[in-house]
Structure formats: structure tokens, C-alpha cells
Structure 1
Amino acid sequence: MLNYVMATLKKSQILKEEKHRARILILNRPKKFNALSYNMISLLLKNFKAYEDSNVRLVILKGKGKSFCAGGDAVAIAHTAVAGHWSLGIKIYEKQLKLNYVMATFKKSQVSLINGIVMGGGAGISMHGRFRVVTENAVFAMPETSLGLFPDVGASYFLSRLPGFFGEYVGLTGARLDGTEMLACGLATHFVFAKDLPMLEEALVKMDSLDPAVVCAIIDVFAQKPPLKKNSAFLSLEIISRHFSKGTVEEILSALEHEAESVTTEWILAAIQWLKAASPSSLKISLRSIREGRVQEINQCLIRDYRMASHSLRRTVNNDFFEGCRAILFDKDKQPKWNPSKLELVTKEMVDQYFAKVDDEDWEDLQLPATSGPYRAKL
């Protein structure tokens, strides 16, 4: 029998369904595209920890409404950091990264049903899970460089493991991918049409096994492999890898502009436009972060994310995060004044500062919770 257990918080931002030995967690903030609030992060973390050593066999995560999760609540973090000491904002982020790590090392199977928008922090609570099921309504993006930030929540781990240098392309340009592209590049493990999700869910909750192969076999029954659209950027993986494998953002942009002189492909023009509009500092730290992620474990990537976010909120190098929030989220004039304003003005020393420990006596590196397993997602 279905037992709805409402979260004991205002507005019930996380709904929980208990079915047999499965637990279904529903992000319930549809008017905000299910953007993650501190309360939501706290509840998710609490539940995943509780399920680790219980008789729960499976956790299904999905969003209410037309979005899975549009990301972390950057507005709340920015407001908190401005209203008080910068470290208040980073406390929200700290718990989010701990949640990402718990999900990444979760012993049970997590099945994320991505039927709509999944961006930023939404990727953090889904991409690290073992099964990522997308539909024809899925839209993935990591648009942080337009906000003066960087692809975070462990994105340097999962983006760097995509084929070729597709991860650099996605992370630097904020490119939007549909469900078929997510499946093709490995961000998704399965594609299931939205109309079939209720049947898939029903089949999953009846399962009584801890074996991920059993879970996979159930999803496979409903899975499809629709073709990529003709204008999909993933069909140009060889070209993308040739350009985005360059050593610097300047070289990447120059290579794309040279390509555009003879080929006016939509994704190339969009990439050039984004790279010219995004925060120059963000682009440079993002490229370095993804490159470092290629040879690091998930815990190292999350600790690095915490350092970089701390410097962003602390304004160690510049004010780009707050300026990006002003231009995109608050005033919405879409005219950010980046500092430095050009790629060539962002020095190696500036970039290095983002990756160093924060020089503050009250600050310490991210302390991740003890877990009993290695990274679980298959990328």
C-alpha cells in the first residue's frame, strides 16, 4: 500500500513515497523548476544516509512538474553571502557537495528519472547516481560560466570522462543537450519515453534485489535508442575534440573562429557567442578544473569545487559571481561587467588562486563523510 510521508518542512519541498523496499523521493518545488534549496539538500542528505544501512533496495529520484532540477539556488547563496559574512553562503554549498559525495558512493541503486530540465546542481544529484534515465523532454546544461562560476558539483569528474573532449565543450559553452545526446555521450544510461515512466517505476518498485544488474535489466525492457537529430553537436565529436583539446581558452576560441570562416554550423556559432559573453575568469578556471578532473577521483574533484566556490564567494580574485547573478538573475539586463573583461587579462596567477586553500583562519577544506563504497556511477 502506498504510504505518502510528507517532509516536515514548510511547503514540503521533498515528498517521499514508500513502496515495498523502494523509496521514491520527489523534488517538489515546481514553480522554481525544482531548484535545490538548503532544506531540500538537507532532506535528501538525511534520507540517503538513512537508506544506506536499511532494508531499502532502491531509491528513485524525480522532479514534480516539467523540470527534474534546474540547479542549486544561486539566488539564495548570493543573498546569504551579501547579507552576512561570505562563509554563510558557502555553508549551503558545503552540504550540497556532501550530498553529491554520498550519492556518488551510495551502495544501493539510485535511479534518476530525468523528464525535463537538469542543470547545474540538478546534474550533481543525478549524474553521480548509478542509473540516469532520460526522456524526450530532458534538457541538460552546465551554464555556470555565464554566471561567473564554473561547472561544479563534481562536474569536472563526469564531464572529463565523456568521449573525446566533449566535456570541455559542454562545460565551457553551456551547450544544451537533449535526451538522445545525453544517452549518446554517456551522461544518461537509458532513454525511456515519458509515457512509459509510470510503468517503469511500477516495475522497479516491485523488484527485491540489491543487484544493479537486475535493476538494469528492468530498465532495459522499457529503454529505447532514438537517433540523434541531424543538427546534434555530438555528431561533430571529432571536430569538437580537435578544437576543445587546445591548451588554453584563447586557442579554443581562435580555432572555432577559424572553423567558422568555412563552416557556419549552428553549434560552432553558438559556442563562439557563448565564449565571448561568458566570464573570462570562469572560462579559464573551468578549463583547468575539467582537465584536472580527468586524473582525479570524485572526492578530489568535490574538494577542489569547494575551494573554488569559496574563493568566488569571498571575492578573492574578483566579483564575477555576484556580477553574474546581478545581470542574469536580479536586474536581468544580461549585460555583466566582468573583471577582468578579456581572456588575455586573466593571468595564470589569478587562476592559481582559485585552486589554493583559502587564507582565512576560520576556513578549512571540505570534510567529506565516511562512506563504505567507491564511486558508483558508470560513466
Structure 2
Amino acid sequence: MGRESTSHARHRGPAPGGGVPVSGAEEPEPVLLHTSGRAAHITLNRPRALNALTHTMVRRIDEALTEWERDPAVETVVITGAGERGLCAGGDIRAIHDDARDGDGSASAAFWRDEYRLNARIARYTKPYVAVMDGIVMGGGVGVSAHGSVRVVTERSRVAMPETGIGFVPDVGGTHLLALAPGESGTHLALTGAQIGAADALWCGLADHYVPTATMPEFLDALAEQPVEDALDGHVRTPPPDVLAARRDWIDTCYAADTVEDIVRRLIAHGDPAAEEAAETLLVRSPTALKVTLASLRRARKLGPLELVLNQEYRVSCAALDMPDLVEGIRAQVVDKDRRPRWSPKTLAEVTDTDVERFFTPLGERELGLSPLMH
């Protein structure tokens, strides 16, 4: 939504790490911060880029969380997105494309290091962290919302981890979240990148509450005056029905296979049109990304705490910078927009176990190094 109440705002000096853009500035502040009653608000403010996250934005959010954690007047933190399209469409993948193609990848690795640390911090934040997952919430947008303690979806919510479509693997703790989803629904979402609505996000454990868009301004106003639980009591409703839970039979059957090739074969053979559509989707995704994603999910189930999964995702993400599919996938989807990526290798059969294992190679001194004890 990005529509916030200012009627109860307390002005206690400049907000940490940002604020209202200065008149005449060429670019607006990418993160807006203000307080309203007992609540502190983060607004991702790049609506023309669907609030895609930059390194500067990640740092600013982290600075704000540090300040507000120490401020007894702040009882709740709320994150929303500016504009009418959504909370956040993910990271700034064009910058990652340019860094991987023309640079040494160090800028992307530094961005992910701070982003993943922020994801872990949000998950362990000591005050209620209310994420308004209205509209599009994808990739990095999931990272700054779905790890929060209070995750609110609306009838406009479209939640997804679409990374395999750009030759990448779900990150920002996405493999942790999807590994915990019922049955093999997380595997389906991770491999296909399918978008889900409010009811399915609730069922998968990616969200906690449904609040209609029309009443969201009143809910945000209530957070200024009431504890989160009381504000929710007056605004939570039952979402419209969605589709994922009804498809669990074929999802669990097909995605339980040990390899992506077997998953595709089962989907094609099942007979359900939705299963066949999923197979068709997989066959145009990056073969390498699909195999690494499946391995990441299966390993995430055994790793346990979010921090350990983020450490694994950091290894995988850094390895992807050296592989051709990430640059090619972003080129095809975002830069040239021809939607015709030329994957290398071209087929699932050509991606070997050695190719996959390379993504999980320890990084030595460059490891992310998160520990659950850090929080």
C-alpha cells in the first residue's frame, strides 16, 4: 500500500537513516521513515522500480531497526511499499547483471551479505515487525516481509520466488521458508516461481493474517494507538479461496521425486492440466537453476535454523555470479526483454551432479558466517 497515517506523528528529530526527500533533490529518498504514535514506519520508496531493493536501502532499513530497537517509544515497526503496485518486486537485478557481466561480482556479494543479515535480523527482531504484503511481493520483497513476526496479506497480494526464471536460485531465506511449507508445495513454488494469492500464502506459512485493502489505512491508523494484537482483532478477515491447497495431491506426488527430470516426467504423466502446465514452465526455466534449487531445498530441510540456511544461500548466490545463466536470464527478462534466454547447459540431462555441487563449495574467509546464537 504505502499509505500511512501521519495524524498521530511524533516528531523527535530526523528519522534514522533517511526521511522526506529534500526539495529539489534529483532522486527521492529510496526509504522513507517516520513515526506515528506507538508505531515506526518503513516505506520502500522506489515505486517506478516496484520498490526493488538496493544496497543503500538495505543499509538504511538496518540502521532504522537499530535505532528503533533502542527507542522505548517505538513499540511496533511497520514496513510498506510506496505506490499502488506492491511492497517490493525483489532486488535490483539489473545492477547484479552489470556487476556479474562487467565487474568482479564483489558489489553483488557485498549486497547479499548485508541483505541476508538483514533478513536474519528481521526474523529475530525484538519488537513486533508488521509487514504489509499488499500487491507484488517477490524475491527480496519476501526477504523483508515473510521473516517478520506479523505478516499481513490482502486480496491484491501476489507472492512469489521467481528466481529460476532468471537463472538464479531462491535466496533471502526463501529456501528456508519454502522448505517448511506443507508437503511439497514449497518445492513447486521454488521450481516454477508460481505466484500465489492471500489464502495460499497463509496456507504455505508465508503470511499470518488477511486484511482487505480497503481497510488497510484504518489498520495502519490502529497500530499507532493499539498493541498489534488489538489492531488485528478489529481488521482481520477470511480471505477469498485460492488454489494451491486443492492441488496438493498431485503436487505432493510429483514433487517428491528425487530429481528434476523425474519431477517433470511425473507432472506430464499425471493427467491434471495444472500439473502439465507446471511441467511446461519447468522446461523453459534454467536447467542448472532448477537442479541447484531442488538441492538447496532438500538441504535446507536438514539444516534447521534460518541463519544456517542463509549461509548456504550465500554460497549458492556467490557461485551463481560465475555461471552464465544468471547474466543471460536477467538479460532476457529485464535488459533486452526478448524472453528467450539461451541457457548453458541447455537441458536438464546436461547438468551433472558435479555442476550442482559446485554451488555449495565453502567460501573460506568469505563465508557469511551467521549463527543462531548471534541473535
TM-score, normalised to structure 2, is 0.90
- For the 8 Å contact 2:308–2:371, the answer to whether it is kept is no
| Cα distance in 2, alignment partners of residues 142 and 270 from structure 1 | 18
Q: Quote the RMSD (CA, aligned, Å).
A: 1.9
- Matched with 2:358 is 353
Pairing 1:45–2:62 present: yes
SS of equivalent to 1:15: strand
- For the 8 Å contact 2:167–2:329, the answer to whether it is kept is yes
The count of residues paired between Structure 1 and Structure 2 equals 355
**2:125 is matched with which residue: 81, 84, 106?**
106
**2:308 is matched with which residue: 297, 300, 303?**
300
- Matched with 1:339 is 344
Aligned-residue offset at 1:242: 1.2
- Matched with 2:280 is 273
Aligned-residue offset at 1:372: 6.3
- For the 8 Å contact 2:307–2:371, the answer to whether it is kept is no
SS of equivalent to 1:140: strand
- For the 8 Å contact 1:7–1:13, the answer to whether it is kept is no
CA spacing shift, 1:179–1:372, aligned 2, 3 Å: same
Q: Percent identity?
A: 33
- Matched with 1:63 is 81
Pairing 1:257–2:268 present: yes
**1:236 is matched with which residue: 243, 247, 259?**
247
**1:73 is matched with which residue: 72, 75, 92?**
92
SS of equivalent to 2:237: coil
CA spacing shift, 1:23–1:245, aligned 2, 3 Å: same
- For the 8 Å contact 2:307–2:372, the answer to whether it is kept is no
- For the 8 Å contact 2:52–2:90, the answer to whether it is kept is yes
**2:71 is matched with which residue: 33, 49, 54?**
54
| Cα distance in 2, alignment partners of residues 157 and 370 from structure 1 | 14
CA spacing shift, 1:91–1:166, aligned 2, 3 Å: same
SS of equivalent to 1:236: helix
| Cα distance in 1, alignment partners of residues 356 and 47 from structure 2 | 37
Pairing 1:287–2:294 present: yes
| Cα distance in 1, alignment partners of residues 56 and 88 from structure 2 | 14
| Cα distance in 1, alignment partners of residues 80 and 123 from structure 2 | 17
- Matched with 1:20 is 37
| Cα distance in 2, alignment partners of residues 45 and 311 from structure 1 | 26
TM-score, normalised to structure 1, is 0.89
- For the 8 Å contact 1:98–1:369, the answer to whether it is kept is no
Aligned-residue offset at 1:161: 0.7
| Cα distance in 2, alignment partners of residues 369 and 8 from structure 1 | 37
Aligned-residue offset at 1:340: 1.1
Higher RCO, Cα 8 Å, sep 6+:
1
Deviations 1:293-340 (A, max 9, x none): 112211111111111111111x1xx31101111111111111111111
**1:247 is matched with which residue: 231, 248, 258?**
258
Structure 2 unaligned residues grouped into runs of 5+: 1-7
- Matched with 1:191 is 210
